[in-house]
Structure 1
Amino acid sequence: MTLPSRLPTEQSEGPGDRPPPKTPRLAGVDAARGIAVIGMIAVHVFSLYDEQTGSVSWLAAVFSGRSAALFAVMAGVGLALVSGGRHGHRGRNVSADRRGIAARAGVIAVVGLTLGLLEVDIAIILVCYALLFVLALPFITMSIRQLAVFTAAWTLLSPAIAFLVRPLLDEAPFNAFIDTEPNWTNLADPAALLSSLFFTGSYPVFQWLNYVLLGLLLGRLALDSLRVQLWLAAAGAAALVAAQLISALLLQGLGGANALLATGETDSGNLVDWNKRLLLDLSDVDQTTSLWWLAVDAPHTGTTLDLLNTMGSAAMVLGLCLLLARVAGRGLLVLSGPGAMTLTLYSAHVLLMSFINGNDTTATESLLFWGQVLLFTAVGLAYGLTARRGPLERLASTVSKAARGPISLHSTFTGSP
Structure 2
Amino acid sequence: MTARGMSPDSRARGRTAIKSRSGTVGSAPGARLSGVDAARGLALLGMMATHVLPLYGTDAQLTPTWVGLVFSGRASALFAVLAGVGLALSTGKQQPLDGASLWAARRGVAFRALVVAAIGLSLGGLEVNIAIILVHYAVMFLCILPFLGLGPKRLLVFAAAWVVAAPALAFMLRPWLLSPTPPLQLGHNPGWEDLTTPAQLLGDLFLTGYYPVFQWMTYLLIGLAIGRLALAKASVPVLLVAAGTVVAVLSKWLGVVMMEDWGGREALQAQLSDPAYPLESVLQVNLTGVQQTGSGWWLAVSSPHSGATLDLLHTSGVAAAVLGICLLLGRLGDWVELDLLLPLRGAGALTLSLYTAHLCLMAALNSQPLPAGWTVELVYWMQVAAALLIGGIFARQAWRGPLEWAAHSANQLGRYQPARFS
Match of 2:114 in 1: 106
What displacement does 1:4 show? 2.6
Aligned: 1:135 with 2:158: no
What displacement does 1:358 show? 5.0
Match of 1:381 in 2: 392
The AA in structure 2 aligned to 1:352 is L
- Deviation track 1:330-384 (CA, whole Å, cap 9, x = no partner) reads 1211210100110000000000100111543343111111100001111101110
What displacement does 1:224 show? 1.0
- Pair 1:85–1:7, CA change in 2 (3 A): farther
Q: Give the whole-Å Cα distance in 1 for the aligned partners of 2:358 and 2:293.
A: 34
Q: Give the whole-Å Cα distance in 1 for the aligned partners of 2:96 and 2:82.
A: 17
With normalisation by structure 2, the TM-score equals: 0.90
The answer as to whether partners of 1:175 and 1:191 remain within 8 angstroms in 2 is: no
Match of 2:213 in 1: 205
The AA in structure 1 aligned to 2:205 is L
What displacement does 1:265 show? 3.8
Provide the secondary structure at the position in 1 that maps to 2:400.
coil
Match of 1:62 in 2: 70
Match of 2:3 in 1: none
Aligned: 1:155 with 2:163: yes
Q: Give the whole-Å Cα distance in 2 for the aligned partners of 1:403 and 1:176.
A: 33
Aligned: 1:240 with 2:248: yes
- Pair 1:245–1:199, CA change in 2 (3 A): same
The answer as to whether partners of 1:81 and 1:220 remain within 8 angstroms in 2 is: yes
Aligned: 1:321 with 2:330: no
Q: Give the whole-Å Cα distance in 1 for the aligned partners of 2:303 and 2:202.
A: 24
- Pair 1:92–1:205, CA change in 2 (3 A): same
Match of residue 44, structure 2, among 31, 37, 41: 37
The answer as to whether partners of 1:265 and 1:286 remain within 8 angstroms in 2 is: no
- Deviation track 1:255-297 (CA, whole Å, cap 9, x = no partner) reads 111111122446696333xxx8932232222111000011111
Match of 2:381 in 1: 370
Matches within 5 A, 1:172-321: 172=180, 175-265=183-273, 270-272=278-280, 278-321=283-326
- Pair 1:268–1:187, CA change in 2 (3 A): closer
- Deviation track 1:93-121 (CA, whole Å, cap 9, x = no partner) reads 00110010000000000000000110001
Match of 1:125 in 2: 133
Provide the secondary structure at the position in 2 that maps to 1:23.
helix
Match of 1:345 in 2: 354
- Pair 1:21–1:379, CA change in 2 (3 A): farther
- Deviation track 1:56-109 (CA, whole Å, cap 9, x = no partner) reads 011111100001000000000000010000111111100110010000000000
Q: Give the whole-Å Cα distance in 2 for the aligned partners of 1:84 and 1:407.
A: 20
The answer as to whether partners of 2:272 and 2:279 remain within 8 angstroms in 1 is: no
Following TM superposition, the consecutive aligned residue runs of length 4 or more in structure 1 with deviations greater than 6 angstroms are none
- Deviation track 1:31-76 (CA, whole Å, cap 9, x = no partner) reads 0001001101110010111236841011111100001000000000
Q: Give the whole-Å Cα distance in 1 for the aligned partners of 2:13 and 2:318.
A: 22
Count of residue pairs brought into register by the alignment: 396
Q: Give the whole-Å Cα distance in 1 for the aligned partners of 2:277 and 2:370.
A: 31
The answer as to whether partners of 1:119 and 1:358 remain within 8 angstroms in 2 is: no
The answer as to whether partners of 1:36 and 1:71 remain within 8 angstroms in 2 is: yes
The answer as to whether partners of 1:32 and 1:336 remain within 8 angstroms in 2 is: yes
- Pair 1:75–1:102, CA change in 2 (3 A): same
